[in-house]
Amino acid sequence: MDFQKTVKRFSFSESLFIYKILRFVLLPNIFQRVKKDIIDNWQFDRRGEIEKLIKEERQSEALIIINEIVRENPENEVEISMKADILYDLERYTEAINQFKKALKIKPEEISHLANIGLCHYENEDYEQSVNYLNKFLKHEPDDVEALSTQARNLDELNRNKEALETITKVIKLNPNDPDEHYMHAGLLSKDEKFNESNEIIDDLIKQDPEDSTFWTLKAFNHINQENFEDAIKSCDTALEINPEDTISLTNKASALIEIGNLDEAQVCLTTSIDIDATFDDSWYQQARILAKQNKIDDSLDSLLVSVSLDNANKEIAKSEKDFSNLQNTDRFKKIIS
């Protein structure tokens, strides 16, 4: 978020003091001009004060000052948008939305407020609203890279994969050198089950930066879906050399090991992953698979319950999981997935 416009005004008592001095030595029309110049200089000083606090990441202190200013100037679009920017930095997105809407109402032609409202909705995980506001903005600025990139992520979250792919493709044409956008493109292709195309992009990214573990993680995921389990394990191992605490790679490796029948090593990976982050649902899901294969029914159901409690989507996946064939007729399994 940019902070290009900030102001600080005199308090009433300060303005009155200057008026008492000047009213005896200046003609009225000259007084009005001088008083305005003095106030503008004071406003500039307060802008500098706020910007300094922001650069020092002291947004809470900056917010106190801007709140005082907005109280004095409740219809000033510049100051309200400054307050919105600070609230965004403080991750108070709903409050930021309200302020951007106030600024937009005062100055409807300032379409950047539409984009900022959309971005706040994205941060609030309100993807439909984010799409709506960004679409309004993109009608005026169809080639704005940041807005398009955020829109692609909205569409991905809403499972509108075709539109997300079209949008990220446009982003890459406009901004071809950003590896994050290429990585997202690869991820969307993977979701579309275009695993070879996805890995072609990943291989190019790996050439540029072989030390980024996320590239190897996605490559492993693609290999698993293509049933190239040995290649998946190798990719996971490379990712884990870079980042030994990569829970996704640990879990992906476990998934591949389960497929080739190496349950003991898979369990070691999952135990490590759960120790690192017990809130990662897929680790518990893969552990449920191992325990089911070992016919440890109650233990498997315990792990499955944790997985489902962390991500409700695992209910649908579990319904068709071939490794749960010995669980599916139990009352507890039916209750978990209901």
Using the CB atoms, write b or e for 236-257: b if 16+ within 10 Å: bebbbebbeebbbbbbbbbbbb
Place of tokens 């309100």: 126
Distances from the Cα of 247 to the Cα of 71, 92, 218, angstroms: 48, 29, 13
3-state SS, one letter per residue, for 88-112? HHCCCHHHHHHHHHHHHHHCCCCCH
Retrieve residue 264's tokens: 């003991």
Residue 16 belongs to a domain: yes
Residue 76 belongs to a domain: yes
Distances from the Cα of 325 to the Cα of 27, 119, 227, 332, angstroms: 93, 44, 21, 13
Residue 163 belongs to a domain: no
63-111 pLDDT, tens digit each: 777 778 778 778 888 888 888 888 898 889 999 999 999 999 999 999 9
Residue 178 belongs to a domain: no
Place of tokens 């990585």: 183
Residue 300 belongs to a domain: no
pLDDT at 119: 94
Indicate the SS3 state at residue 286: helix
Q: Which residue range is the domain that position 58 belongs to?
A: 1-110
Question: Which residues of the chain register pLDDT less than 70?
Answer: 1-45
Distance of CA 8 to the CA centre of its chain: 33
Q: How many CA atoms lie within 13 A of 65 on its CB side?
A: 23
**Residue 208 corresponds to which amino acid?**
Q
Q: How far apart are CA 73 and CA 46, in angstroms?
A: 14
CATH number of the domain at 40, please. 1.25.40.10
**Number of domains within the chain:** 1
Residue 160 belongs to a domain: no
pLDDT at 65: 77
pLDDT at 63: 79
Residue 143 belongs to a domain: no
Cα three-residue angle 128-129-135, rounded to 5 degrees: 90
Retrieve residue 19's tokens: 């008026």
Indicate the SS3 state at residue 328: coil
Give rounded-to-5 percent helix, strand, coil for the chain.
Answer: 75, 0, 25
Residue 276 belongs to a domain: no
Residues in contact with 63: Cβ distance below 8 Å, sequence separation at least 6, in sequence order: 83, 86, 87, 90
Q: How far apart are CA 78 and CA 66, in angstroms?
A: 11
